[in-house]
Amino acid sequence: MKIRLLISLVGLLALAGCSTTVNSVENAQPIGQRQMVSDKRVLTDSSLDRKVTIVGVNQTTTAGGLLKVQIELENRTRSLQRFLYHFEWFDANGMQVENVLSASLPEQIEGMESKFISGIAPNSQCKDFRVKFIESN
Q: In the complex, which residues of this chain contact other proteins (CB under 8 A)?
A: 62-64, 66, 68, 84, 86, 98-101, 103-106, 118-120, 122-124, 134-137
Closest CB 134 distance from other proteins, rounded Å: 6
Closest CB 26 distance from other proteins, rounded Å: 22
Considering the complex, state which of residue 78 and residue 86 has its C-beta at the smaller distance from other proteins: 86
Rounded to whole angstroms, the Cα distance separating 132 from 43 reads 10
Q: What angle do CA 67, 125, 69 make, to 5 degrees?
A: 15
- Which secondary structure element, helix H or strand E, spans residue 59, and what is its range? strand 52-61
Considering the complex, state which of residue 1 and residue 100 has its C-beta at the smaller distance from other proteins: 100
Closest CB 109 distance from other proteins, rounded Å: 15
What b/e sequence results for 121-133 when a residue is b if at least 16 CB atoms lie within 10 Å of its CB, and e otherwise? bbeeebeebeeeb
List, as one string, the DSSP characters of 3-21. HHHHHHHHHHHHHHHH--B
Considering the complex, state which of residue 7 and residue 134 has its C-beta at the smaller distance from other proteins: 134
Closest CB 34 distance from other proteins, rounded Å: 16
Considering the complex, state which of residue 73 and residue 121 has its C-beta at the smaller distance from other proteins: 121
Rounded to whole angstroms, the Cα distance separating 83 from 60 reads 25
